[in-house]
Structure 1
């Protein structure tokens, strides 16, 4: 029988292989559901329902649900946490912005925590995408991260767009295939800017706040200047990422 699961912790690392020493390539955050592809004694290979990413999670962090429960959760109108909260149950639990707050997740917390969660969720953010993106300012860069506690560049753009009702692929080289190309001169808040490494491969993405400013995850989520050459860091006094293309996803 096919097995499924749900993330009941603030964040769970998803690794390339079934070992704690293996590279973290992705994360699950509270409320994410997934399909179980394979099980070993200590590790579970999963495929996330939101972005279809595959990897391994420790079996002690896996919480199994039935196909019926998983299908019911996927049919619910999605509600996402728009702030990072500290919940107090038997012990404090920090919960990241972008977490999916469904009926199952509400059910595992006490009444007081349920009310706190309900007060900070929405299906589609009514803020501007720039306002949403700024909530991550200062979040440390973490390869494979997609939470407030650590995030990478494509996880940052994906999670910000998720809060506005858009589903982006997980990685920058996949995200660049979405949307319509626009010039920097005509760019506006919410457009995605993509950058290349010395080999010409897409290796970075950020969200434009205007056609002169960009917010992106590089060492931490930060705001830098951008022009036709790329991102200019006032802190480092140099260009850090060569601009490749700008894409418009938001209507």
Structure 2
């Protein structure tokens, strides 16, 4: 088998030009069918996969990878009359066996666009987060997070589970860590050894209560102890969540000064959309992962003039705290340009966002903190609070968090 990038090189090396032309035609037809399926069923490769991953032009055999049964059926139907063998590798595949579920086993697990620590970080997931395991590649899982994001995570960061194991984990009562940073202990004693570090939002199984400590279980069955003052039962935490503008802004401000971290979604570091995602998560809601996905959710707020450019007077009139502001790079960029940045509006022309650090800037020209606003173009604003949208979902209604 050869990779697609080497296809035409292989034709030339073989020196059989007539066969190459014939095979090239078949390849192009297969590729076009896969591209049609991708456009129809998987337009966003971050959340769905349909891809032609290998081709053998000599034997006319092709392998397609897919997470979507409908796309697989489409490709099989459309290629049925071609003189080619099409193999569909449906994900999850045999490399994960029956353990198609996983639960994050570190305080914060890093997910990357490709296998390997040198690859670009795509996102993060917190301890106790349930994920789908799609494939195992060189000691890493290709996995899907509750937001639907597909990327690679080291196998050591995840407790892989079959359905029975996952059911046991789900049935176990949980606690959620509510201090910004901390650690779990090997005994109910502050002088005992650390089991692991912890950050806000980490979820563990609740085994028992021992004095001022919760006795907890990790997804891989390690036992530890956490001071009660640093955690809540998950049930009580959910009951205490109230999605209001004030609460979202207060949560956002607790992250002031955190470093910008590409792909970050925790109090260890956040990127712009990881910051807004975390502010809503702290208030009991799951929202889309990236800025370009977040802009597709919620209710549009009118902040643009008739030519489609940012109107500060409209913005001051129509925006409410906790609305999301979306930006494109460049001061004079087209208002229809691709969204590259997101911020939370906090009122009086100011917004809080992760840019270098989590900080507050203003859209008002005479404000001392206006400077950052000059480097970007506002292209949209969306409201999540009070809006019915499946993309803005209560944690307890998300299938990955149901107990």
TM over 0.5: yes
- Quick check: 2:176–2:232 contact (8 Å CA) kept in 1? no
CA RMSD of aligned residues (A): 2.9
Aligned-partner SS, 2:252:
helix
Deviations for 1:83-114, whole angstroms, at most 9, x for unmatched residues? 31312423264322233345489323756416
Report whether the alignment pairs 1:158 with 2:291: no
Q: C-alpha distance in 2, partners of 1:58/1:233?
A: 44
Q: C-alpha distance in 1, partners of 2:107/2:224?
A: 19
In the other structure, the counterpart of 2:128 is 31
Structure 2: gaps (5+ residues): 1-97, 186-192, 208-214, 303-314, 387-403
- Quick check: 1:42–1:59 contact (8 Å CA) kept in 2? yes
Report whether the alignment pairs 1:95 with 2:198: yes
- Quick check: 1:85–1:96 contact (8 Å CA) kept in 2? yes
Q: 1:31-70 maps to which residues of 2 (within 5 A)?
A: 31-48=128-145, 50-70=146-166
| TM, length-normalised to structure 1 | 0.85
- Quick check: 2:362–2:370 contact (8 Å CA) kept in 1? no
Deviates more, 1:1-10 or 1:184-193: 1-10
- Quick check: 1:98–1:159 contact (8 Å CA) kept in 2? no
Would the alpha carbon gap of residues 9 and 116 (structure 1) be closer, same or farther in structure 2, given more than 3 Å must change? farther
Aligned-partner SS, 2:300:
strand
Would the alpha carbon gap of residues 69 and 58 (structure 1) be closer, same or farther in structure 2, given more than 3 Å must change? same
- Length, aligned pairs only: 247
- Quick check: 1:196–1:204 contact (8 Å CA) kept in 2? yes
Q: Which has the larger helix fraction?
A: 2
Report whether the alignment pairs 1:172 with 2:291: yes
Report whether the alignment pairs 1:202 with 2:339: yes
What is the Cα deviation at residue 226 of structure 1? Answer: 2.1
Aligned-partner SS, 1:18:
coil
Would the alpha carbon gap of residues 74 and 134 (structure 1) be closer, same or farther in structure 2, given more than 3 Å must change? farther
Report whether the alignment pairs 1:242 with 2:338: no
- Bigger relative contact order, structure 1 or 2, given CA contacts below 8 A and separation 6+? 1
- Quick check: 1:14–1:27 contact (8 Å CA) kept in 2? yes
- Quick check: 1:84–1:94 contact (8 Å CA) kept in 2? no
- Quick check: 2:177–2:232 contact (8 Å CA) kept in 1? no
Would the alpha carbon gap of residues 79 and 176 (structure 1) be closer, same or farther in structure 2, given more than 3 Å must change? farther
Deviates more, 1:149-158 or 1:236-245: 236-245
- Quick check: 2:101–2:162 contact (8 Å CA) kept in 1? yes
Structure 1: gaps (5+ residues): none
